[in-house]
Structure 1
Amino acid sequence: MNKNVKKGVAAAVVLMFLSNVLSRVIGFVRTQIQAGFIGTDHIADAYALSFLLPDTLNYILAGGCLTVTFIPLYQSLEKRSPREAHEFVSNLLNVGTVIFLFSIVLGYLITPAFIAFVGGQELHGESQDLAVSLTRLVLPAQLFFFWGAVIKGIQFSRQSFLYPALTPLIYNVGIIICGVALFESHGVAGFSVGVLVGAFLGNVVFQLPGMQCCAVQWYPRFSFRDPHLRHWGLKTLPLIIGVGFTYSNMVLIRFFGARSSDGIGSVSALDYSYRLFMVLVALLGQSIASGMYPFITEMAMENRRKDIEETLFPLIVQIGVILWSITWILPFVSYDLIALLFERRAFTAHSTLITSRALTAYAPGLFFFTAVFLFNRLYYAFEKTLTPTIITTISLVLVLPLFFILSQTWGVVGVAFPSALFSALIFILLSGYWKKLFPDSKVHFLWLRLVGVIALSSPGALMALGISRFPIVDQAPPAVRIFVVGGMPFFLLLSLFNYLGFISARDLLNKIRRRK
């Protein structure tokens, strides 16, 4: 990979990383405010379940997977003919808008039956009615997400990341402001109104300057027979027909959470812990994947697979060092972490207990969740969109019995832990099939390095356990316990990996000095 491309990748990853950091900080504030206002009772469960149908609509109509299939097609069209690329975008927006509007109306009509099905016996009476009304409030936001996916896809194709990086920030701010301002008069519905406002501002209003910079022209085209639309549809269809990784986890959490033996509050507790869990996944997986993907697609079009592996595989190992170190330590600080972040007002000690149990059970999947995001981009870049979908579907079929059994016996742990196993199985199959596709791939060296990372980081659990047994530590405030029980083993492990050459603090410091 030449130096200019490396610099471009680094700049994009840094920008998306900073965007994710800021959005996750604001997302933390959003989650803390929601937890404080609604806790983990039947209202919180109704609010969590209200996102299931809108997200399903978004997933079925390809809004969630639009960018990964859109970027390679748009890049190739624009290189050949900018007008042809703009006509494709116009047609996609026009056709997609009509389909989304029709589907939103249909979704509005089927909401009561849908909520009754997914809510099980936990939601009934006023709780079910609340979930229905909140679902209908959130449904129209999916149209804004669709528009935003197209607009951001164009900017990503041009390797322009600034305005797309603002989307999650604006979205979360909209939810916070509306939720707090309207809670006294409209209750939890104020947060749902915030979803609409934040989605429109973040995905549309604040993306328009970026569209102007890209000089995209709109044409009044509306044709289902457009060859480029059909080509995009054929590439996207496998992602829709099969089971998407993020979407399937969302469905599993809410569906089986509503049937958990822990009863009322299980759905919201799983939701809070999953949001916290996904912070690290987003920072180290989604930010890197989003920043690197446009460059990976360009290298894939030039058939430079080895360059892609040389760039991505060392990053996966370094991410593994950080996340496996956290994984072994997290069970010993999860209760204090949840108490410090959420325990106030309606979020009680019982809420802390059930949420921390779910977070601990998610921990083994921390690295695998992140690695799946990265490995999926490899397949998407080479336009092998069907493979990740088939592998995810097979993995789901294999682990689904565990969800049915364990959710009834282990409660929220029985929902979160199979989710971690689900992600691990997907990563193993994805990386294994990559080696089958490309026998000369260095993926076997990646496996060996990761096995070493898992083994070498495991003593972190013993260190955290030993430190937590000291009486003076046990009686300390949560923030102190998190720093001592979690922080000390974590930095010792990083020092060990630096000494063994898995990561390099010297290279990092040199990069910082050069940037200064």
Structure 2
Amino acid sequence: MNLLSAAAKVSSLTMLSRITGLLRETLIARSFGASEWTDAFNVAFRLPNLLRRLFAEGAFSQAFVPILGEISTNEDQNKAKVLINAVATLLFWALLLTVLLGVIGAPLLILVIATGFSGGPAYEASVVMTRIMFPYIGLISMVSLSAGILNTYHRFAIPAFTPVLLNLALIGSAIFLAPHLEQPIYALSIGVFLGGVLQLIIQVPALSRLGLLPRIGLLPRAIKAAINNPDARRVMKLMGPAVFAVSVAQISLIINTNIASRLQAGSVSWLSYADRLMEFPTALLGVALGTVLLPSLSKANAKNDLVHAGELLIWGLQLTFLLAAPSAIALFVFGEPLAAVLYHYGKFNALDVLMTQRALAAYGVGLIGLILVKILAPGFYSRQDIRTPVKIGLFVLVATQLANLIFVPWLGHAGLALSVGTGACLNAALLWVGLHKRGALPSAAWAKYLGQLFLALIPFAGVLFYAANAHNWIALQAKPWTRIGLLALWLTVAALIYFSALALVGIRWQKFLRHAK
């Protein structure tokens, strides 16, 4: 299997997901703006969305895929089927209980997530929408199990396409359902639930073709057998720490939502709109590469081929720097044009653009760290090492909240984004050092490589800085197609200059093709 080809396929489908996601956010921004009602939806969606991100970005797979890969590599398929059925059974019953508790305890959850919403219509709306959307947690968790199975057997397309269905469900609900409801914002929560149903249904044919469709045990005997399955116990033992270790940034977002709910009205929404743009490169690069690397790393470690595992990590890290660095610069210096083109319509005004741009610049500082974590974490979990990432995650979570004490009084809502980004950079640095000390990350000529990248990034950054200041992107609201055309033109020019500069400084794509095996 060619890893670069597989990553390109996953990235292309993820691109489709992000494009539909941006269309979704643009439609929501145009229809609802940034108000107490959008804040209410974003608060209610924060916990289901956290689970969506964790599972979509491989947190469950970090625990499940290494063990399933080990069994499928070294043992027979029947044992793999037994593991799949056992994990599906345990997950189903745990999720059923979680969803019931979440629906019943929605008022308390909202008070915890957004204490600034105590009482009032925004609080009541958040409670209602939380109850509608909480079952999505169960649906997306089962989708994650299915994706882990398919990814282990190198069937990457369906899991990568799945998020598109959530976006389409939300777009359809906003267009066709919202006008018919007394409170239109409720249509978005209904769209989330319907999207989860569609995401689960699409997994069934692909799993059936592999003969690996999970069978959920409903009788006490089957549940007991699942609990006693030693391989399922290994997965469950790894799953909690794996979820926590790769979700530090997302847990920080939950805490930050609480803080943002106490700031200026619209702060939660500004962060949400910026977060959607930040997700674009994170998913295209970090998630795509992490998805295709984990099965190969797991199988290499199962065979005790540590040299190949190390080569895979170096390949992924170098490719990440190559593509993540320009993305970070774009968020930092080109945030206003991006926010204006995507969101500056209808009720989304010039102030909203400015505030979203500030959050984007803050996210840009830590974007490389956010993406690197997606590459480095599989290096530990493919080796079934759960302790190191958990220790690092706990330390980083505390450090991130301490950073809020410095950044929020100074930068407001943008300070919350900056604390997440700097925390992710710290997380990535500690994971990197940990892998290197364990001999899992061999030495490479990083000084030369990063120096070459720096030289190539100078003209790229210069072009985007000029473009951001050469036009009045806010005033161009009256000419939306002109504004879209200018954005596309400048991004294309900047990309061409960057890749030309890469060739001039001696970085060749053939290097990544040669090592992508």
TM bracket (short chain): 0.7 to 0.9
Q: Deviations over 1:368-391 (max 9, x none)?
A: 211110111111111113322221
Compared CA separation, residues 77 and 416, structure 1 to 2 (3 A): same
**Alignment equivalent of 2:203, drawn from 203, 207, 210:** 207
**Alignment equivalent of 2:77, drawn from 71, 78, 82:** 82
Structure 1 segment 14-93 matched on structure 2, within 5 A: 14-54=8-48, 65-78=59-72, 79-93=74-88
Q: Tell me how far apart the structure 1 counterparts of residues 54 and 466 of structure 2 sit (CA, whole Å).
A: 49
How far has the Cα of 1:106 moved from its partner? 1.2
Q: Tell me how far apart the structure 1 counterparts of residues 428 and 15 of structure 2 sit (CA, whole Å).
A: 25
How far has the Cα of 1:23 moved from its partner? 1.0
Q: Tell me how far apart the structure 2 counterparts of residues 322 and 240 of structure 1 sit (CA, whole Å).
A: 26
* Structure 2 letter corresponding to 1:89: I
Q: Deviations over 1:445-468 (max 9, x none)?
A: 346633653465256445544565
Aligned to 2:132: 137
Compare 343-352 and 480-489 and name the one that shifted more: 480-489
User: Is the CA contact (8 Å cut-off) linking 2:249 and 2:420 kept in structure 1?
Assistant: no
* Structure 1 letter corresponding to 2:25: T
Q: Deviations over 1:318-374 (max 9, x none)?
A: 332333234334444211211111111121222111111111111111222111101
Compare 166-175 and 449-458 and name the one that shifted more: 449-458
Aligned to 1:514: none
SS at the partner of 2:368?
Answer: helix
Compared CA separation, residues 470 and 61, structure 1 to 2 (3 A): closer
Residue-pair matches, total: 499
Q: Tell me how far apart the structure 2 counterparts of residues 43 and 157 of structure 1 sit (CA, whole Å).
A: 41
Q: Tell me how far apart the structure 2 counterparts of residues 70 and 470 of structure 1 sit (CA, whole Å).
A: 50
How far has the Cα of 1:488 moved from its partner? 4.1
Q: Tell me how far apart the structure 2 counterparts of residues 50 and 225 of structure 1 sit (CA, whole Å).
A: 36
In the alignment, structure 1 residue 103 sits paired with structure 2 residue 106: no
Compared CA separation, residues 229 and 119, structure 1 to 2 (3 A): same
Aligned to 2:319: 318
Q: Tell me how far apart the structure 2 counterparts of residues 171 and 468 of structure 1 sit (CA, whole Å).
A: 32
Compare 42-51 and 91-100 and name the one that shifted more: 91-100
In the alignment, structure 1 residue 117 sits paired with structure 2 residue 120: no
Q: Deviations over 1:65-95 (max 9, x none)?
A: 2222111222333452333322222222222
Compared CA separation, residues 150 and 465, structure 1 to 2 (3 A): closer
In the alignment, structure 1 residue 492 sits paired with structure 2 residue 497: yes
Q: Tell me how far apart the structure 2 counterparts of residues 37 and 474 of structure 1 sit (CA, whole Å).
A: 19
* Structure 2 letter corresponding to 1:141: Y
Q: Deviations over 1:236-271 (max 9, x none)?
A: 2323566723432431442232233xx111011101
Aligned to 1:423: 424
Aligned to 2:276: 275
User: Is the CA contact (8 Å cut-off) linking 1:333 and 1:482 kept in structure 2?
Assistant: no
Compared CA separation, residues 155 and 471, structure 1 to 2 (3 A): closer
Compared CA separation, residues 330 and 235, structure 1 to 2 (3 A): closer
Compared CA separation, residues 60 and 111, structure 1 to 2 (3 A): farther
SS at the partner of 1:352?
Answer: helix
Compared CA separation, residues 114 and 279, structure 1 to 2 (3 A): same
Aligned to 1:389: 390
Structure 1 segment 364-513 matched on structure 2, within 5 A: 364-438=365-439, 441-443=441-443, 445-446=445-446, 449-450=449-450, 453-454=453-454, 457-458=457-458, 460-466=460-466, 478-479=483-484, 482=487, 487-504=492-509
Compare 90-99 and 304-313 and name the one that shifted more: 304-313
TM-score by length of 2: 0.88
Q: Tell me how far apart the structure 1 counterparts of residues 63 and 54 of structure 2 sit (CA, whole Å).
A: 14
Q: Deviations over 1:409-466 (max 9, x none)?
A: 3112111111111111111111111111118x43453466336534652564455445
User: Is the CA contact (8 Å cut-off) linking 1:317 and 1:502 kept in structure 2?
Assistant: no
How far has the Cα of 1:497 moved from its partner? 2.0
SS at the partner of 1:360?
Answer: helix
- For structure 2, the 5+ residue unaligned runs are 477-481
User: Is the CA contact (8 Å cut-off) linking 1:175 and 1:191 kept in structure 2?
Assistant: yes
Q: Tell me how far apart the structure 2 counterparts of residues 152 and 445 of structure 1 sit (CA, whole Å).
A: 35
* Structure 2 letter corresponding to 1:157: T
Compared CA separation, residues 335 and 60, structure 1 to 2 (3 A): closer
Compare 486-495 and 421-430 and name the one that shifted more: 486-495
In the alignment, structure 1 residue 171 sits paired with structure 2 residue 166: yes
* Structure 2 letter corresponding to 1:428: A
SS at the partner of 1:50?
Answer: helix
Report the aligned-residue RMSD: 3.0
SS at the partner of 2:223?
Answer: coil
Q: Tell me how far apart the structure 2 counterparts of residues 351 and 129 of structure 1 sit (CA, whole Å).
A: 25
Aligned to 2:285: 284
Q: Deviations over 1:461-490 (max 9, x none)?
A: 455445656589998754465456655455
Q: Tell me how far apart the structure 2 counterparts of residues 243 and 306 of structure 1 sit (CA, whole Å).
A: 25
In the alignment, structure 1 residue 180 sits paired with structure 2 residue 175: yes
SS at the partner of 1:222?
Answer: helix
Compared CA separation, residues 396 and 381, structure 1 to 2 (3 A): same
Q: Deviations over 1:296-339 (max 9, x none)?
A: 21112122232233234244323323332343344442112111
Q: Tell me how far apart the structure 1 counterparts of residues 472 and 168 of structure 2 sit (CA, whole Å).
A: 40
- For structure 1, the 5+ residue unaligned runs are 512-516
* Structure 2 letter corresponding to 1:364: V
In the alignment, structure 1 residue 254 sits paired with structure 2 residue 257: yes
Aligned to 2:188: 191
* Structure 2 letter corresponding to 1:230: R
Q: Tell me how far apart the structure 2 counterparts of residues 273 and 475 of structure 1 sit (CA, whole Å).
A: 21
How far has the Cα of 1:182 moved from its partner? 1.2
Q: Tell me how far apart the structure 2 counterparts of residues 300 and 127 of structure 1 sit (CA, whole Å).
A: 50
* Structure 1 letter corresponding to 2:418: F
How far has the Cα of 1:277 moved from its partner? 1.0
Q: Tell me how far apart the structure 1 counterparts of residues 287 and 55 of structure 2 sit (CA, whole Å).
A: 21
Compared CA separation, residues 267 and 314, structure 1 to 2 (3 A): same
User: Is the CA contact (8 Å cut-off) linking 2:174 and 2:187 kept in structure 1?
Assistant: yes
User: Is the CA contact (8 Å cut-off) linking 1:12 and 1:292 kept in structure 2?
Assistant: no
Q: Tell me how far apart the structure 2 counterparts of residues 58 and 21 of structure 1 sit (CA, whole Å).
A: 17
TM-score by length of 1: 0.88
User: Is the CA contact (8 Å cut-off) linking 2:34 and 2:266 kept in structure 1?
Assistant: yes
